[in-house]
A = this chain, B = another copy of it.
Amino acid sequence: MEQKVMNQPIISALEKFTELDEKISHFNSISGLLSWDQKVIAPKKGRPIFAKASSTLRTEAFKLSVSEGMGELLSTLSSPEAEAYLDEAAKAKVRERLNFYNRSKSIPAEMIKEFSVLTSQANDAWEEARENNDFQHYLPYLERIVDFKRKSVEIYGYENHPYDALLDEYEPGLTVEKLDPLFDKLRKSSTNLLKRIQNATYEPRVDIFEQAFSVAKQKEFNRYILPLIGFDMNAGRLDETVHPFAQTVNTGDVRITTRYLENNVRSAIFGTIHEAGHGIYEQNIDQQFEDSVLQEGASFGIHESQSRFLENMVGRSEEFWKHFYPKLQEHYPEQLGNVGLDEFYRAVNSVQPSFIRVEADELTYNLHIMVRYEIEKALIAGEIEAKDLPAIWNSKMNEYLGVTPSNDSEGVLQDIHWSFGGFGYFPSYSLGNLYAAQILNKIKADIPEFYGSIEKGDFAVIQKWLKENIHQYGMLYTPNELIVKATGEELNADYLVEYLEEKYSKVYKL
């Protein structure tokens, strides 16, 4: 038999690559901690000063990621000869670093610099425009951002639709061709369901939330449920910020935030469960991926699936409240003592079309995303122009949600995303819901006592399933590989459509 000769240059490249990948990952892990610190606890006067130091570190990590040395290592390690020397994890690391390298190197440095100045100005202009309800003030910046994005997708390249190049940044491998039929089905069934809900005779008693709920008790209740639903308090923190978020430092240090509003008890509860979903995901990534590019969740969409699954499929289920409602009532005997479980469950699942995405319910949220997805796609393809957005926005809102914003501030100007050039980001939210429903379908098949466990307050069996089938893999698989591996099929909109149909038929007694 022929003895295979070890290929020394490949072995040496792999060693150097692993070391470089680890260094970049360490710098990114530190940057994550710094970002959390400056948002959550740093004293006011230190923040502008510290911005320079953290920028130095981020720049260093970026430079290493696109360095000539990295380019050479990636070229060696992605060659066919290297195949046999790389295990699954090493291949995934090379895949992810190569993606970033190619994407970052494709745009000339001069263009990136200009764009960075532009988005900084655009963000200010957007803030002013929203405050003054003055879309025209923002328009010139938005036009230049769209122009940049149109140019950059031509540089990145794409097979069919120019928007594919942007989708790929947030959901690697996803294309308009794949996404259109999914979103079409979801949009049609959701608008239809919404109409039936609006015609329903039953209406949940949302007035029960129009009371003051002591913030101190909200904190107590949130800190009570957080570890019970699977968030490891020895591997994370819960703090307060105006805009809640999750930030990973490493698998033993995942920090989530929430906010407490006395006049909105739902905000903190479901916000905390949502961020816990993100956090539990990252706490359960296999430690073998620590110190590497694979130390994060698979994609924006998969990440969002975990937060939405926990917030909506688990946290808004009747069984969840069968378990936790008595405790909540104990905290608020005056406010909820006379409100039955059934009333409460229906109230937390009420549907009310509104202008503002971030305040939307589980059903109409996706319709907000459809408005944005369709606009982004047409903009990038050059089928519409930035100046047309207010009119198109309002018309789509009216068509899908049956409401027309009375001004641009509560319409086309409401989101920050476009001001930093985040085209391609919005679909992740609905992708999260689609993934989540498909996962729910599979988990119910694998664990027949799924809802029974929730009712008993036993989340361990569910978290075990999620860890084994999703969480542990980090970024080892692409999102498509991961969902196929976990559920046996590619992403399919039917599960979410059926889930919403079933849930709201029950809530609204349709």
Contacts and interface: CB of A to CB of B under 8 A. Distances in A.
Interface of A: 22-23, 25-27, 29-30, 33-34, 37, 41-50, 52-54, 56-57, 60, 232-237, 249-253, 287, 290-291
A503 to B, nearest CB: 35
Given A30-B57, A52-B291, A45 B235 contact: yes
10 contacts: A26-B53, A27-B53, A44-B234, A44-B235, A44-B252, A45-B234, A46-B249, A49-B250, A50-B249, A50-B253
B232 A45 contact: yes
Nearest to A48: B252
B30 A235 contact: no
A291 B52 CA distance: 8
A258 to B, nearest CB: 16
A33 B43 contact: no
Contacts of A290: 49
Number of copies: 2
A251 B49 contact: yes
Given A53-B26, A249-B50, A251-B49, A236 B37 contact: no
A352 B322 CA distance: 63
Closest 9 CB pairs of A and B: A46-B253, A45-B252, A46-B252, A26-B53, A26-B56, A45-B235, A49-B250, A44-B234, A29-B53
B291 A43 contact: no
A251 B56 CA distance: 18
Nearest to A291: B52
Contacts of A52: 26, 291
Contacts of A37: 33, 37
Given A34-B33, A37-B37, A290-B49, A253 B26 contact: no
Nearest to A283: B45
Contacts of A287: 49
Contact of A30 (B34, B42, B43): B34
A27 to B, nearest CB: 7
B253 A42 contact: yes
A49 B47 CA distance: 26
A67 to B, nearest CB: 14
A30 B53 contact: yes
A324 to B, nearest CB: 24
A234 B232 CA distance: 32
A26 B45 CA distance: 17
Contacts of A252: 43-50
